[in-house]
Amino acid sequence: MAAHRSIVNTQYRFSMKLFSRIAIVALAGAIAFSSCGEEKYTKYQCPMKCEQEKTYDKPGTCPVCGMKLKGIK
């Protein structure tokens, strides 16, 4: 009986370790993808509208006032 309990206990510990490792990897993946979920903008514009409604394709700074361009949808 003791040998049977030992085998069952060893199998249980192995499966719990495996489950824990899988859960940690899944959690790490979820965290990584959540940080990648930043909203992607297709156009950028000066928040001060120095050049009225002019938009840019890439993030950067306004050539007139030097402020960081704001993403717009």
pLDDT tens by residue, 41-52 = 789 999 999 999
Q: Does residue 1 sit in the same domain as residue 32? A: yes
Q: Name residue, tokens 């990584």.
A: 32
What domain range includes position 7? 1-38
Q: Does residue 45 sit in the same domain as residue 70? A: yes
Above 70 in pLDDT, residue 38?
no
Question: With the C-alpha atoms ordered 47, 52, 55, 59, is the resulting torsion angle positive or negative?
Answer: negative
Burial of 62 (0-12, 13-18, 19+ CB in 10 A): buried
- Is residue 26 within 8 A of residue 17, CB to CB? The reply is no
Q: Does residue 34 sit in the same domain as residue 60? A: no
Q: Does residue 46 sit in the same domain as residue 69? A: yes
Q: Does residue 22 sit in the same domain as residue 50? A: no
Could you tell me the pLDDT band of residue 17, with boundaries at 50, 70 and 90?
confident
pTM for this entry = 0.45
Above 80 in pLDDT, residue 34?
no
Q: Does residue 51 sit in the same domain as residue 66? A: yes
What's the pLDDT at 35? 57
Total structural domains in the chain?
A: 2
